[in-house]
Amino acid sequence: MKLHSGNLAWSHTNHPISAYPSLRQHLSCDCLIIGGGIGGALCAHLLADSHMDTVLIDKRTIASGSTLANTGLIQFSNDKTLTSMINTFGEKPAVRFYKMCQGAVGKLIRISQNLQQEARITPRNSLYLASSEADLSMLREEFTTLCRHHFPVEWWDRNMIAERFPFQKSGAIYSYCDGEGNPFAFVHGLIQAAAANGVSIFEQTEASGFKFLKDGVLCRAGDYTIRAKHVIFSAGYETQQFHKEKGAHLTSSFVMVTEPADHFDDWFERCLIWETARPYLYMRTTPDQRIMIGGLDEPLENDRLDEARHLHQGQVLLEKLHQLFPEKKHLQAAYAYGAVFGESRDGLPYIGPHPDYPHCYFLKGLGGNGAVYSMIAAEMITDVLTGKQRRDMDWFSLTRTSKPTPAVHRSNME
Ligand SMILES: Cc1cc2nc3c(=O)[nH]c(=O)nc-3n(C[C@H](O)[C@H](O)[C@H](O)COP(=O)(O)OP(=O)(O)OC[C@H]3O[C@@H](n4cnc5c(N)ncnc54)[C@H](O)[C@@H]3O)c2cc1C
């Protein structure tokens, strides 16, 4: 599957990256991780600490799947608001999930502090704008819900926004304790640390077949096999190819990155910005003084990414940015790309085992919060593999849509 197309910004940053060999021998291990994106890298990092004998393979190179397209906004709020989650799942489970996301943001920041400078995740606040007057009451309700459950948020009215930004919006939630990073550098940092800690990493090594044994899994990878007691499937949107519950709805999403700006005096605290419209526009600044703006999601053409569409959509994103920040009208696009983007229908990630795949765990960090979901998933899966009970994993079950009642999931979250 072609995951992105165009000129991707992160691969041009000056982060020193390591290359890894392809598999040249039969292997056996305690745990095989399939996929070297953010999900696989977090699992490798956590398993390295647990001293399990771990192997990670990627059919491309490290962090060159969807992680390369990821714009690096790390937020506890989700595409599906807390209010909406409460309506779907009930108060306790929904709040518990949002708290998990909040905890995961903190963990990502903490983990990154031990990595090289460029791989670190920087704390940032977020501005969640009402896209229109009509969205104001919904956003106000979300603010009240977040306050009731002690999330660190403020309500900003039209004047407060106008004092801090050059655009007019009728209201916004300003939230604290989010983060931003360079996902490409972060994943390379995690993998380098895992490799230094004993995890074997192989690039250009595709898992192409599986035999499920009584005591593990035999995975074919090119001319070789890897015999593993456990397998973690963290193959991003391509995980869909491995099991029949597709789960994800795939679209195209677009990103444009400007040339470096001379200042951000008109951008309060260089916060992350997003909005209530669906699909939403979102933007951030980068350490090398650029603006990254994304959105304009649209259906895939015949299930495939249109490889030239980013040229048009990048221009539209630039115009939208100029409308919001008129002082930045001189800034042109330096990078523009399109990428496949996946969402689950209920807004939750898929995490856990699948009845047809013994000894295997799946990690599918779908949605705009893929990094946060991957952190939650990596921790849950590695907990289970190292002998800790995680009954809450059932809430994210791959087969949840075929289960008779959501109460099954609720009970494990309460
Ligand atoms: C435009 C865009 C912007 C985004 N912005 C954000 C954001 O700001 N914040 C956020 O949290 N999330 C964001 N996301 C979502 C985020 O990018 C994804 O959720 C996340 O990168 C998924 O990571 P992953 O490790 O699951 O997948 P991937 O990064 O795709 O990694 C999977 C890896 O598996 C490998 N693989 C696949 N099949 C096989 C096989 N058979 N054998 C071996 N290897 C295999 C692939 O080569 C790939 O490297 C964004 C997504 C897009 C498209």
What tens digit of pLDDT does each residue of 375-399 get?
999 999 999 999 999 999 999 999 8
Q: How far is the CA of 266 from the centre of ligand 1 (A)?
A: 32
| Identity of the residue numbered 261 | A
Instruction: Tell me the DSSP string of 32-78.
Output: EEE--SHHHHHHHHHHHHHT--EEEE-SS-TT-SHHHH---EE-SS-
Probe target for ligand 1 pocket from 67, 256, 286, with the most ligand atoms within 8 Å of CB: 67
Is the confidence at residue 404, as pLDDT, over 60?
A: no
In 90-161, where do the E strands start and end? 122-129, 153-157
148: CB partners within 8 A, 6+ apart = none
Q: Give tens-digit pLDDT for 99-136.
A: 999 999 999 999 999 999 999 999 999 999 999 999 99
Atom of ligand 1 minimally distant from the CA of 339:
53
Atom of ligand 1 minimally distant from the CA of 364:
26
Question: Taking a C-beta distance cutoff of 8 angstroms, is the pair 261, 289 a contact?
Answer: yes
Question: Taking a C-beta distance cutoff of 8 angstroms, is the pair 5, 337 a contact?
Answer: yes
Atom of ligand 1 minimally distant from the CA of 205:
43
Which is nearest to 2 in space by CA: 300, 371, 232? 300
What 8-state DSSP symbol labels residue 236?
G
Ramachandran angles phi, psi of 349, nearest 5°: -75, 170
What is the reported pLDDT for 293? Answer: 98
Question: Taking a C-beta distance cutoff of 8 angstroms, is the pair 260, 245 a contact?
Answer: no
* Maximum Cα–Cα distance across the chain: 65
What is the reported pLDDT for 12? Answer: 83
Is the confidence at residue 177, as pLDDT, over 70?
A: yes
Q: How far is the CA of 67 from the centre of ligand 1 (A)?
A: 4
Instruction: Name the fold adopted by 121-179+248-344.
Output: D-Amino Acid Oxidase; Chain A, domain 2 (3.30.9)
The CA-CA-CA angle for residues 279, 285, 290, to 5°, reads 110
Average of per-residue pLDDT values in the chain:
93
What is the reported pLDDT for 302? Answer: 85
404 vs 207, residue with greater confidence: 207
3-class secondary-structure state, position 16? coil
The whole-number average pLDDT for the span 18-30 is 97
Judge if the beta carbon of residue 283 lies within 6 A of ligand 1: no
What residue owns the CA closest to ligand 1's atom 12? 370
Alpha-carbon distance of 278 to 280, in angstroms, equals 5
What is the reported pLDDT for 244? Answer: 61
pLDDT band at residue 239 using 50, 70 and 90 as cut-offs? confident
| Identity of the residue numbered 339 | A
3-class secondary-structure state, position 214? coil
Distance of CA 33 to the CA centre of its chain: 18
Q: CA torsion, points 229, 233, 234, 235, in degrees to nearest 10?
A: 130
How much is the CA Rg of the chain, to the nearest whole Å? 21
Is the confidence at residue 327, as pLDDT, over 70?
A: yes
Number of residues assigned to the chain: 414
- The correct CATH number of 4-70+184-246+347-396 out of 3.90.1640.10, 3.90.650.10, 3.50.50.60, 3.40.50.300 is 3.50.50.60
Judge if the beta carbon of residue 175 lies within 6 A of ligand 1: no
Is the confidence at residue 71, as pLDDT, over 90?
A: yes
Is the confidence at residue 245, as pLDDT, over 70?
A: no
Q: How far is the CA of 238 from the centre of ligand 1 (A)?
A: 9
Query: How far, CA to CA in Å, does 237 sit from each of 65, 102, 240, 241, 363?
Result: 9, 24, 6, 8, 10
Q: Give tens-digit pLDDT for 274-284.
A: 999 998 999 99
Which is nearest to 112 in space by CA: 56, 201, 185, 18? 185
Is the confidence at residue 405, as pLDDT, over 50?
A: no
Instruction: Label the pairing between strands 54-57 and 200-202.
Output: parallel
pLDDT band at residue 241 using 50, 70 and 90 as cut-offs? confident
What is the location of CATH 3.50.50.60 in the chain?
4-70+184-246+347-396
357, containing H or E segment: strand 357-364
Atom of ligand 1 minimally distant from the CA of 338:
1
Q: Which residues pair with 212 in a beta bridge?
A: 217
Q: Give tens-digit pLDDT for 344-362.
A: 989 999 999 999 999 999 9
What is the reported pLDDT for 366? Answer: 86
The whole-number average pLDDT for the span 144-168 is 98
What residue owns the CA closest to ligand 1's atom 44? 58
What 8-state DSSP symbol labels residue 326?
G
Give start and end residues of each alpha helix (H) in 168-221: 183-196
Judge if the beta carbon of residue 253 lies within 6 A of ligand 1: yes
pLDDT band at residue 406 using 50, 70 and 90 as cut-offs? very low
Alpha-carbon distance of 63 to 234, in angstroms, equals 12
Locate tokens 């608001």: which residue? 81
Question: Taking a C-beta distance cutoff of 8 angstroms, is the pair 373, 42 a contact?
Answer: no
Is the confidence at residue 408, as pLDDT, over 50?
A: no
What is the reported pLDDT for 249? Answer: 86
Locate tokens 């939230």: which residue? 175
Judge if the beta carbon of residue 72 lies within 6 A of ligand 1: yes
3-class secondary-structure state, position 409? helix
244 vs 360, residue with greater confidence: 360
What 8-state DSSP symbol labels residue 24?
-
Probe target for ligand 1 pocket from 8, 17, 66, with the most ligand atoms within 8 Å of CB: 66
What is the reported pLDDT for 397? Answer: 92
The CA-CA-CA angle for residues 281, 287, 288, to 5°, reads 100
Alpha-carbon distance of 276 to 118, in angstroms, equals 31
What is the location of CATH 3.30.9.10 in the chain?
121-179+248-344
What is the reported pLDDT for 367? Answer: 85
Which is nearest to 239 in space by CA: 137, 331, 141, 377? 377
Is the confidence at residue 204, as pLDDT, over 50?
A: yes
What is the reported pLDDT for 399? Answer: 87
pTM, 2 dp? 0.96
285 vs 15, residue with greater confidence: 285
3-class secondary-structure state, position 167? coil
Atom of ligand 1 minimally distant from the CA of 337:
1
